[in-house]
Structure 1
Amino acid sequence: MTSAPQRSQTAGYVFAILTFAIFACQDAISKHLGALYPPVFIAMVRYWIFALFTIAMAARFGGGLTKAARARRPWLQVLRGLVLALQVVCAITAFSTAGLVQTQAIMAVTPLLVAMLSVPVLGEHVGWRRWLAIAAGFVGVLVILEPGADFLESDLVVPVIAALLLGLYAILTRLAGREDAPMTSFLYIGVVGAASLSLIGPFYWTPMDGEGLFWLAMVCLTSLSSHYCFIRAYEHLDAVLVQPISYMQLVLATAIGIVLFGETLHLNVAAGSALVVAAGLFTIWRERVSRQKAVIAPKA
């Protein structure tokens, strides 16, 4: 008979797998919509629904909505919300221009960006092994991008910006998490994102037909369900256990891009992605080892 901790961990892995599987489907729908409608408009409507979801979740939080909205550093939470909203717009744009395969390959560098930024922003120590992994990961990105004289005019600029923004958002989230509850951070990304995009999105308002409305509803549904699963996964698992599973999104999104959208997995993208993923997994593993040592050291 399995113990309660084992059942809890199993549930955590199930929710984590569901999270990144749904994220991959959400990216595919976003690619489809982004090719037909302005990405800012799509992101705005998606954020309206997401904001209602975060408010409803926060209202059920211990202490209610008022307590959840009380941040130690509101400016940091607002900045997180703005960065993520911009990242979502860039990601939708990238999916429809550069494609799912290349965009996901480039965005797989996020854990390496977080490790690198953790030194100046969080004051954390990164050992030489992780620095080598970070360097190897960025070599993998260069292999994917094959930058040349015309790189700034290519479709790959937006995915790079999206990856940088996602890394910045992740590091700001870790910084905010030192003082604020997860529900506070969750509430702010929904409300700030919806408010900021509502200032710009109406200028891109585009009438939608029945099919467009259906897929818009689907992207909203996947957004809500993926974030719900994400929250549940973190209730049962530590972040270092969830992060490696995130690379499943790269595999699934790549498969969807090839099968449904006729994209091509070029050799340089496959080789670069393998290097980035290997470096990312090693970095995550080393971070886990470092944290375990930090916990054990005071007891020694």
Structure 2
Amino acid sequence: MRTAIARSAALTGTLLVLVYTAFISSADAITKLLAGGYAAPQLYAVSGLLVVAMAMTADRVKSGPRQGLRTTCPRAMALRSALTVVSVTCYFYAFRLLPFAEVFVFIGLVPLMAGLLSGPVLGEHVRAPAWLALGAGFIGVLCLFPGGLAGISSGHLVAFAASFTGTLSMVISRYIGRHEANTLAQVFYPNLTLALVMALALPFVWKPMPLTDLGWAAAYAGVLFAGRWILVIALSKLAAYAVTPLMNLQFVWMVILGAVFFGEVPGSQIYLGVAIVISSGTYLVYDRLAADRREAEALRATGVVAAE
């Protein structure tokens, strides 16, 4: 029974992450579209308030007993909120400074960083085969870098900071998920913090927005709200090091969106890297399922869990 539940949770988490990649890649494309004409505070103050309103509305209309937007982990939530502000701001400028698909090389570093951070933050043991898969994924990421490491610029450093703080925020999200089931709170508080912080700078950078751009900002808020809520749920069902490699599938969406909307076509060597990264992510999910199965079998063998 324990094995079946673990397998179901892992498969559900995997599907949720796949949906998340579609939503978050769409949000990234809108960010790049608006980044050239507006400062970060303008986009994030507007979109942050919209996401906050969506979270409050979702809390009122969702079925079952209402949990409100309270959190039992205020310090962890505050840290996650602060990291979210730093991460989204850095991503904004990374998309302004770098080609769309090139930012993916730093998104591809997320699994390796999650593996390193999951131990000290979550106490999750990452088995040796999983570390090999993480290393293979990193090699795949290097294949995605069009200009090689010698081409590092300020844009690349900003993108690295975005990925690191974003990864730490996701790992803390899983920590919070262990102590409370109110996933909506993890969407509400980071976006409320983002909106308030950006609002402080808004008077200095505000530019009038035509209706078209306001529509894009609203669309950004919608897909971001859906994507972040889905990711929080996925992180409660899969280990952080298993979730994040699946997020590398964003690259497929980023290539499509980059080609269609920005005329950016990555080089042929990138597809080899994609194959390595996707294979690495698939193996990590398999390794998680296998580990859960072995654990359940060991418990049954010692009589701790009765055989079904």
**TM-score interval (norm. to shorter):** 0.7 to 0.9
- Report the Cα offset of residue 172 of structure 1: 0.8
Give the structure-2-normalised TM-score. 0.79
Secondary structure at the aligned position of 2:125 is classed as coil
* Aligned residue in 1 for 2:277: 276
* Aligned residue in 2 for 1:185: 186
Question: Unpaired segments of 5 or more residues in structure 2?
Answer: 302-308
Contact 1:112 1:280 in 2 (8 A): no
The change in CA–CA distance for 1:171 and 1:22 in structure 2 (over 3 A counts) is closer
Contact 2:133 2:283 in 1 (8 A): yes
Contact 1:31 1:95 in 2 (8 A): yes
Query: Residue 109 in 1 paired to residue 109 in 2?
Result: yes
Question: Unpaired segments of 5 or more residues in structure 1?
Answer: none
Deviation track 1:42-87 (CA, whole Å, cap 9, x = no partner) reads 122111111112223334563442xx3132x311101111112221
Query: Residue 48 in 1 paired to residue 61 in 2?
Result: no
Q: 1:293 and 1:216 mapped to 2: Cα distance?
A: 47
Matches within 5 A, 1:254-269: 254-269=255-270
Superposition RMSD on alpha carbons, in Å?
Answer: 3.3
* Aligned residue in 1 for 2:149: 147
Q: Match for 2:98: what amino acid? A: A
Comparing 33-42 with 201-210, which one deviates more in the overlay?
Answer: 201-210
* Aligned residue in 1 for 2:36: 35
Secondary structure at the aligned position of 1:207 is classed as coil
Q: 2:14 and 2:128 mapped to 1: Cα distance?
A: 31
Comparing 240-249 with 200-209, which one deviates more in the overlay?
Answer: 240-249
* Aligned residue in 1 for 2:213: 212
Contact 1:94 1:159 in 2 (8 A): yes
Secondary structure at the aligned position of 2:37 is classed as coil
Secondary structure at the aligned position of 2:207 is classed as coil
Q: 2:11 and 2:169 mapped to 1: Cα distance?
A: 28
Q: 2:218 and 2:81 mapped to 1: Cα distance?
A: 22
Contact 1:243 1:284 in 2 (8 A): no
Contact 1:82 1:196 in 2 (8 A): no
Q: 2:180 and 2:204 mapped to 1: Cα distance?
A: 34
Deviation track 1:197-227 (CA, whole Å, cap 9, x = no partner) reads 3334443322223332232222223323445
Secondary structure at the aligned position of 2:71 is classed as coil
Contact 1:233 1:242 in 2 (8 A): no
Alignment: residue pair count? 287
The change in CA–CA distance for 1:98 and 1:274 in structure 2 (over 3 A counts) is farther
The change in CA–CA distance for 1:106 and 1:275 in structure 2 (over 3 A counts) is farther
Identity over aligned pairs, percent: 24
Q: 2:71 and 2:287 mapped to 1: Cα distance?
A: 34
